[in-house]
Chain A
Amino acid sequence: MVLMKKVINDPEHTVTEMLQGFEAAHPDYVKSLDGTTVLLRKEAPVDGKVSLVSGGGSGHEPAHAGYVGEGMLDAAVAGEMFTSPTPDQVFEAIKAVDGGAGVFLVIKNYTGDVMNFEMARELAEAEGISVEQVVVNDDVAVEDSSFTNGRRGIAGTVFVHKIAGAKASEGASLREVKRVAEKVVAHTRSMGVALTPCVVPGSGKPSFTLEEDEMEVGIGIHGEPGIERKKITSADEIAEELLQKVLQDSVDYKGAEVAVMINGLGATPASELYIVNRYIQQRLHDYDVTVTHTYVGEYMTSLEMAGFSVTLMKMDGELKQLLDAKVETPAFRD
């Protein structure tokens, strides 16, 4: 059942070869930073603008390089597959994009990502660059407590890129960009499900195993375990379960305006994502929730994992205006 066949060459070169191909596909948006795994916005550094740097392990394409461009990220740092990029790489990205107004880091809440980005931040601050950060933790599947790593960052990260990027494009200060990014984090919740695992190139083994008729509810984007492993049910029943978890969490979505993202994890066809979206929209209507924006597609994947996640972001006037602001990137456009 698990697909071990891969279109790769030497597994050690997977990330660099992917980045080369990405740059060749999107020369109007990105340029590479020599000797690194960083892709920069073509215009970088943009003078006087707060610059956004994000990144993480590879295997989540189009994240993160797909969000480099006008109105979103100034640089994406690619780590090895499912492995955080290293401090030196993030540091190079920070130096390359700094236009004098400071650099804002968007970090997904994983132990490695937080440590590597924070080390890079310390290196940059030692060189006199102002750096701020936000740690995204939208995945409601994981318990949040001071005794754990806290919640994981998953597809909701894309909303942080979009909103914080739009704020920076307006000429906002580092502090303002941080404020609005924290607001997105506070307003955004997600949860995912996996039907099949994925295989990291080079490891040759699936990241976990599921029986033919099983699914894992609450899966992380690296195949981290979720809440429950159970028999697969219908699209509507799965969507209902994810939606309930999101709605019952700490953000009160009832009666509010929201943006919805139905995100494919890599091997679930668009047709199935639309089936899920149809159901989610109906149910949100039942809860008196007004959907202002809908995104259906692959935004934050997990290699060839089958499954999807549901993300809701509660809107307000500012977030709406920033979500609608001009954006021009390979994977997110007006």
Chain B
Amino acid sequence: MEMKAEQAVAWVEKANALMQSHKEYLTELDQAIGDGDHGLNMSRGFQEAELKVSATDYDTAADVFKDVATVLMSKIGGASGPLYGTAFLKMSMTLKGKDPVTEANLAEAVEAALNGMKQRGKAEQGEKTMIDVWHPVADFLRNGQNVQPGKLEETAEEAMNQTKDIMATKGRAAYLQERSKGHIDPGSTSSFYLFQALADVWKKGE
């Protein structure tokens, strides 16, 4: 895959469509183990991000991600705002001067995003947070032979489903301790939609 500004915008648009259509579901997941605002927050944040990027002319994917970072940081709120904002900011910084973005560039960018999120959230893999999806996806993009979009989606989905059995030690679900088990993590779910959207745009570009 090669990603230019056009594909980056398409990614944001697709991600927004998925956040909107799963708004209620994300809220339900968050009501089970969080404070119930994840659906509202993600739909508001990505709605604004799409409005911004679809109304602006961009030269590169890095420019698109910079605006996305600013919008998500200021419009999502909660813990997800700074985390997704940091992710897109790190991707933008890593991809600066790279046009079009190659698969290898994308792998680096996702890796940088992951590290930024870990630092911001003071979290590691296995704590029932969105890191649990970003980590295997970053590994997959970096190590994967013959990286394909279908595989990307599968990796993210599997990682999301695995959060069900984890006991939360970060984020609001951590207050539930043992009771957080048996529920899929809402942040991992919105991260899955983000990578599902990327896979979708990737498939269309092939």
Contact = CB atoms under 8 A, between A and B. Distances in A.
A and B found bound together: yes
A5 B81 CA distance: 30
A328 to B, nearest CB: 31
A309 to B, nearest CB: 16
B35 A88 contact: no
Nearest to B70: A88
A84 B169 contact: no
Contacts of B75: 86
A307 interface: no
Q: Which applies to chain B's interface (DSSP): helix, strand, loop or mixed? A: helix
Contacts of A115: 79, 82-83, 120-121
B123 to A, nearest CB: 9
B1 interface: no
A87 interface: yes
Interface residues of B, number: 30
Q: Which applies to chain A's interface (DSSP): helix, strand, loop or mixed? A: loop
B81 A224 contact: no
Contact of A220 (B77, B78, B81, B175): B175
A149 B35 contact: no
B171 interface: yes
A116 B77 CA distance: 8
**Size range of the interface on A?**
20 to 34
B196 to A, nearest CB: 25
Contacts of B171: 111, 149
A205 B174 contact: no
A323 B74 CA distance: 36
Q: Which of B31, B77, B170, B172: most chain A Cβ within 10 A?
A: B77
A234 interface: no
A271 B73 CA distance: 43
B74 A80 contact: no
Interface in A193-224: 200, 202-203, 205, 207, 220, 222-224
A207 B36 contact: yes
A225 B172 contact: no
B37 A224 contact: no
Nearest to B81: A86
A205 B170 contact: no
A82 B37 contact: yes
Interface in B75-128: 75-83, 85, 120-121
B41 interface: yes
B35 A224 contact: yes
Given A83-B77, A115-B120, A220-B175, A149 B170 contact: yes
A149 B176 CA distance: 12
Contacts of B177: 143
B167 to A, nearest CB: 10
B41 A86 contact: no
A200 B27 CA distance: 12
Contacts of A142: 175
Contact of B73 (A86, A111, A147): A86
A153 interface: no
A80 B77 contact: yes
A205 B79 CA distance: 21
B36 A200 contact: yes
A69 interface: no
A284 B174 CA distance: 33
Contacts of B35: 82, 200, 207, 222-224
A135 to B, nearest CB: 12
Contacts of A149: 170-172, 174-175
A199 to B, nearest CB: 10
Contacts of B73: 86-88, 119
A224 B175 contact: yes
Interface in B151-200: 169-172, 174-177, 179
A171 to B, nearest CB: 34
Contact of A86 (B77, B121, B179): B77
B18 interface: no
23 contacts: A79-B78, A81-B37, A82-B35, A83-B41, A83-B77, A86-B76, A86-B77, A87-B73, A87-B74, A87-B81, A87-B85, A111-B171, A112-B77, A115-B120, A116-B77, A119-B85, A149-B175, A203-B27, A203-B36, A203-B37, A203-B40, A205-B36, A224-B172
